[in-house]
Amino acid sequence: MTHGMVCAPQPEAVEAGALALKRGGNAVDAAIACALVQTVVDPQMCGIAGFGSLQLYLPGAGVHGCIDFHGRAPAAARPEMWADLVEWEAEDGFGFKLRGRVNDLGYQAVTTPGSLGAFHQALTRHGTLDWKQVLEPAIALAEEGFMIRPHVHDFWTRAEKFGLADPIERLRLTPSGRRIYFDQAGELRALGSILKNPDMARTLRRIADGIEVFYQGEIAEQMAADMACNGGLLTVEDIRNTRPEDTEPLWGEYRGYRIASNPPPGGGIMVIEMLQMLEHFDLKALGHNSPDYIRIVSEVMKRATVDKDRHVGDPRFVEVPLERLLSRDHAAGQAAAIRRGEIARVPRLGADSESPAIESPAIESKNTTQVSAADEHGNLVSMTHSLGMPSGAITEGLGFMYNGCMSVFDPRPGRTGSIAPGKARFTAMAPTIVFEGETPRLVLGAPGGTFITMGILQTILNVIDFGMTAGEAVAAPRFCTTSEVIDVVNRIPRFVTDELEARGYQVRRSYRGYHFAGVHAIGIVDGKWQGGADPGHDGMALEV
C-alpha cells in the first residue's frame, strides 16, 4: 500500500483515489481514479468530454510540469459568427448572453473533448497502475448507481440569474438526458435516490480497452454524427485532432514562498499577479477580513481581472504580456495606486443598461471540479477539470454530457477572447503548488468559474499570512470582487461591510455561508498532510 492523501468534492471519488493508493498506486493513479469517478458522480461539473488543467510534481522522476487540456473551438467556428446575436456579458465575466442561447445550450456550445485524453496521458506516463484497473470504480458506480448528493441536486434545481439556461433545461435537452436524470413520471430524480447510468458504464467499458475508440474509432464517429444531425460545429476531424499539451509551470514569489501554477489560457497568471501586488501590504497587521483588508484585496482582484480581460488568452492566438504582468514594477505600481485610494473599474458589456447581469445577485458559475493528491514519495497532483456550463447535449447510447465551452468566448471579433478555429478560451482554472524553498507546502485548486482564482488567493493568504492549517484556510469566510461589486459570504459581519459601504463600495451579501469557489487543498507541514475540503461542497480529504 502507498500512503497518501486525496482531497476532492465527492466522497465516492475520494474513495476511488484512496483505493488506488491502497493498491500500491502513486498520487497520479489516485488523482486519475478520482477524476474518472467524478465524471460519473458529478456529471454536470465534469466529464470525459470536458476540459481542464493539471499540475504534476514528481520529484523522484525529476518531473514538474503541467498538462493543458482546454477545449478548443471547432474548425468550423468563425470570429464573426455570433457577433449580431450578443445581448450582454455576465457581470462576473463568465460568458455572454446571445439571442437564442446558441452558445450556451445545445450542440453549438461544444468544443473539443480533452479530458479523457489528458487522464490517459497522465496515467500511462506517470502512473503505476493499469488503465483498466483505474477505470473499475467509475464503471461500477455508473452501472450500480450512486446516491444523489446535496451539491449535485442543488445545482440541478437552481435557477440561473444571468439569463443562461437553467440546469434543468440542460438535463432534459435530449432523450438520453430525460431518461438518465428523470424518473418514469417525468420528475427529476430525488435527493438521496440512486442514479444508474448504464450507457455511461458501457462507454467506459469500451474505453477501458483503449481510448483510441473515443478519439479515432467508433465513439468518435458516433459523436460527430450526432453533432452533424443537431447543428453542432464539432466534426470527427476536430475530435481526432484533440491532444493534451505539455506546458511548463508559471512561477511567482510571495513573502519568500515560491508559487507554481498553470500558464495561460489558465488562471495561474492571476493568482501570481495578485499575490505579488499584495506583497506590498502588511495584511496580518490589517487583520483577517477587516474592512481595510477586504478593500485592498478587492482592489487587487479587480486589477488582475482587468488585466486578464484585456491581455490574457490562448497564447497560440494572442500575445500575452507575461513578463510585464508578472513584473515587480507592475505589482508595485498597482499597489501604489491602491495606497492612493484609487478605485479600479471593471468594464463589462451591458454594465450601463438594465440587464439581468447587473441587477441579479451573484451566482457562482461552479460547473467544475478539483482533485488534489499527495503520496509518501513526495508526488503531488492538482487537477481542475470541467464542462464549463454543460451544453446539455448527450449522444444517444453514450451516457455523458458534452462541455459547453463556447459560451465564454467573446462573440465580438478582434478581442483577446474572441472566437477562432482551434482557439481555447481563458479559464480561471489554476491548479497550484506553493513551495518553501524546494519543499512543497500546499497543493490546491478549486471549481468556481471566475471565482476560482479568488478562492485560491485567499486560501494561500490564510496559510502564509495568518498561519492557518489547510482546513482552516479553506473554511474561512471568503469574498470575491470580479466586477464593481464586492460579494461577501453571509459569515462576514455586517459591521465590516457597513464600513466598506461608507467608503463608497457596493457590497452584496450572499445567502450562503460558504461560497466563491470550492477550494480543496492539502497542506504539508513537517512531512505530515493536512486535508482541507471546502465545507460548502460534499467532499472530504482522506488519508490512507
Cα distances from 368 to residues 4, 360, 404, 432, in angstroms, run 24, 22, 12, 16
Q: Are strands 485-488 and 506-509 parallel, antiparallel or unpaired?
A: parallel
Contact call for residues 68 and 315 (beta carbons, < 8 A): no
Q: Determine how many CB atoms are found less than 10 A away from the CB of residue 243.
A: 14
Is 128 annotated as catalytic? no
User: What is the grid cell recorded at 540?
Assistant: 472530504
Of 247, 368, 450, 497, which is the active-site residue?
368
| Rounded distance between C-alpha atoms, residue 90 and residue 93, angstroms | 5
Residue 342: half-sphere exposure toward Cβ, Cα within 13 Å? 13
Buried b (16+ CB within 10 A) or exposed e, 476-494: bbbbbbbbbbbbbbeebee
Question: How far does CA 505 lie from the centroid of its chain?
Answer: 28
* Residues 543/7, Cβ–Cβ less than 8 Å: no
Q: Any idea what DSSP says for residue 373? A: E
Round to whole Å and give the CA distance between 114 and 73: 12
Q: How many CA atoms lie within 13 A of 97 on its CB side?
A: 19
Q: What contacts 185, CB < 8 A, 6 or more positions away? A: none
How far apart, in whole angstroms, are the C-alpha atoms of residue 110 and residue 389? Answer: 10
The helix/strand/coil state of 341 is: coil
How is residue 418 annotated by DSSP? B
Positions marked active-site: 368
